[in-house]
Structure 1
Amino acid sequence: MPAPTDHELFSLGDVVLQHGATLRDAKLAYKTYGTLNAEKTNAIVYPTWYSGRHSDNEWLIGTDKALNPDEWFIIVPNMLGNGLSSSPSNTPPPYDRARFPNVTFYDQVECQHRLVTEQFGIETLALVTGWSMGAGQTYQWAVSHPEMVQRAAPFCGSSVTSPHNQVFLESITATLRADAAFAGGWYRDDAWPTTGLRAFARVYAGWGFSQAFYWQEEWRKLGASSLEDFLIAFWEGFWLDERDPNNLLAMAWTWCHGDVGRTPGFDGDTVAALASIRCPVLAMPAEKDLYFPPEDEQWAAQHVPRGEVRVIPGIWGHFAGGGMNPDDTAFIDQGIRDVLAMDP
């Protein structure tokens, strides 16, 4: 599926990133759904996830959903690194391709904060929500701008990337670098490291869904006729679909180094950062998520003054948050509906 073109670009100018590099003439791609009210009090931020684009978030937006564009003004900012916002694939030298600088969750949210405040003049957000890396950005919003975020609903994600999660990220990124065609990140447009991307997909396949998902052959519900067909059509097909390897590595670095404790002022103290969150936080981990198990969110919630955890039941693992299983979608939608009804 070609990358979407129905977005707008917000010019960030020169952005000094947390690790010291200056990303010049940076751009943040975004799309909005609904209308901002006169008081500018109905805004929701719904960030994207690893390799996801704004259109990939639309399954949770609709007049029949809690994220109802007839009621809310929903802003979906694309992460730096995802190919639509400033990324290795679209940044001019000297920070193009393999030289693209490291971007933290803090950097992502600061750019989004500028979009929200400068482009729209919004001073308060009714909700921030997101899946996977979108959940990491949700936590970062609540820590970076507690005066602004009224509610937060991260699902299938975390406030800090665990060591086990880091091991997973090291394994998938190693597959790209191992392909000779990768050439240290300076691969030619006509010679992408497709062998590495296929290996990347095979490793990812063992993590995205749970063991029970495969045992019960739930992949048949996604149109696959055999396990091999699922590995090729779903997994390889997804990662070979205009997913630039340097972009994947840039986003993986952001994910791997996620930790709200690295927000300026907290000196690496994740617990203190979580304790600083003022708004109600409803975390919704998936029961069998191999990246972000419920135990991780239960640990975080005990440090958030108004933290709550609701576990998404079932066997779809991390992809319980991907909008593919109706039961999981209904659970997440109800959770968002409930948190929107909470007093900020």
Structure 2
Amino acid sequence: MDYEIFNLGDVALQSGVTLPNAFLAYKTYGQLNEKKDNVIVYPTAFGDQHVQNEWLIGNGMALDPRDYFIIVPNLLGNGLSSSPSNTPPPFDRAHFPQVTIYDNVKFQHRLVTEAFGIEKIALVVGWSMGGIQAFQWGASYPDMVERIAPFAGVAKTWPQTYVVLEGMKAALMAAVRLAPHQLSELTAADMRAVGRVYAGWGLSQAFYREELYRELGFDALTDFVAGFWEDSFMQMDPHNVLAMLWTGQHADISANPTYNGDFDKALRSIRALACVMPGSTDLFCPADDNEYEAKRIPNAVFKPIASIWGHFAGRGINRADNEWIDDNLKRLLALRKNG
């Protein structure tokens, strides 16, 4: 096991349900300095675990473990933190309660403060649903978070993104003929269709037109859809996916008692220096939505990743996109609030 567990105990979720014996799986990189001011929090995205974040961590990079103490907390529902696949009855499989982004960040805050005694975070960074968590950190703990850098992630699930996630969910529901009482019968094989649904959203039209899948070792489009999209989704537990889909569909940094649904107020309340980096051709989390958000965050810059890799411009696959993200993170970390 290459990660650690932080036991949360019995936690009250936003839904009103108490999840017993909840826990966060996390991994750290680097050392916490004496002042405890070299902290970077880097939450995971939908379907990802901490290892999928490691492409952005390394010597000489912005997230350099020689300089920073990097904490990667795993999203609830991802199979490592409390999830349908590892929770005993009565909350196992299809019975896992609804968990929000707000819940996730509240538990991550407990990890950071209770396990490490940290009071200031230099940066919260993340891709996709990890980006939503970065926004949520900034809104939930504005005095604690000095910088945020969401890339290919939005501050709430806008209607377009909701519809894409609904299509993914529908593929699973079709496998049990829309019968909720049969959800526990779902298997990994039922994830095949989910991968095919997402294949048209994760990458741009230009990516497919220019056959960039050849750079990933696939000679034909059909091979790419099967070998890349189907395969990656079939490795996920369907109940974990349904739990994360719910989390994603209901993400909104203002959906909590602090902001009571006032989205613009939540954005204005983020005091962190922010570098918002959408993918310029992202069909899933469009750059326009991020532009709206960045305009309302007092200390934000809007830096689209000029790429035809769509949502996956933030996935750590394409070198030029990786360098763009890393360079902007280096610039952000060099900035001081009044400098």
Question: TM class by shorter-chain length?
Answer: over 0.9
Match of 2:182 in 1: 184
| Corresponding letter in the other structure for 1:262 | A
Give yes or no for contact 2:188–2:234 (8 Å, CA) kept in 1: no
Match of 1:238 among 201, 224, 232: 232
Give yes or no for contact 1:172–1:200 (8 Å, CA) kept in 2: yes
| Alignment deviations for residues 60-79 of structure 1 (CA, whole Å, 9 cap, x no partner) | 00002100000000000001
1:193 deviates by 5.3
Match of 1:205 among 199, 205, 210: 199
Match of 1:223 in 2: 217
Give yes or no for contact 1:156–1:321 (8 Å, CA) kept in 2: yes
Secondary structure of the residue that 1:291 maps to in structure 2?
Answer: coil
Mind listing any 5+ residue stretches in structure 2 that lack a counterpart? none
Partners of 2:223 and 2:301 in 1: CA distance = 39
| Corresponding letter in the other structure for 1:165 | T
1:180 deviates by 3.3
Partners of 2:110 and 2:67 in 1: CA distance = 23
Say whether residues 1:6 and 2:2 are aligned partners. yes
Partners of 1:40 and 1:98 in 2: CA distance = 40
Say whether residues 1:342 and 2:331 are aligned partners. no
Match of 1:83 in 2: 79
Match of 2:164 in 1: 168
Q: TM-score, normalised by structure 1?
A: 0.96
Say whether residues 1:146 and 2:142 are aligned partners. yes
| Corresponding letter in the other structure for 1:343 | R
Secondary structure of the residue that 1:125 maps to in structure 2?
Answer: coil
Match of 1:23 in 2: 19
1:225 deviates by 1.3
Give yes or no for contact 1:48–1:79 (8 Å, CA) kept in 2: yes
Partners of 2:268 and 2:306 in 1: CA distance = 27
Match of 1:281 in 2: 274
Give yes or no for contact 2:176–2:183 (8 Å, CA) kept in 1: no
1:296 deviates by 0.6
Give yes or no for contact 1:176–1:193 (8 Å, CA) kept in 2: no
Match of 2:90 in 1: 94
Say whether residues 1:36 and 2:32 are aligned partners. yes
CA RMSD of aligned residues (A): 1.2
Mind listing any 5+ residue stretches in structure 1 that lack a counterpart? none
Instruction: Note the 1:86-125 alignment, pairs <5 A.
Output: 86-125=82-121
Structure 1 segments (4+ residues) deviating >3 Å: 180-183
Match of 2:325 among 328, 332, 343: 332
Give yes or no for contact 1:12–1:27 (8 Å, CA) kept in 2: yes
| Corresponding letter in the other structure for 1:225 | D
1:342 deviates by 1.2
| Residues 1:281 and 1:226: Cα distance change in structure 2 (over 3 Å) | same
Partners of 2:65 and 2:110 in 1: CA distance = 22
Partners of 2:297 and 2:148 in 1: CA distance = 11
Give yes or no for contact 1:43–1:125 (8 Å, CA) kept in 2: yes
Secondary structure of the residue that 1:75 maps to in structure 2?
Answer: strand
| Alignment deviations for residues 191-222 of structure 1 (CA, whole Å, 9 cap, x no partner) | x251x311111111000000000000000001
Partners of 1:230 and 1:240 in 2: CA distance = 14
| Alignment deviations for residues 15-67 of structure 1 (CA, whole Å, 9 cap, x no partner) | 10011010110010000000000110101000000000000000000002100
Percent identical: 52
| Corresponding letter in the other structure for 1:37 | N
Partners of 1:201 and 1:263 in 2: CA distance = 32
Match of 1:323 in 2: 316
1:302 deviates by 1.3
Partners of 1:240 and 1:197 in 2: CA distance = 5
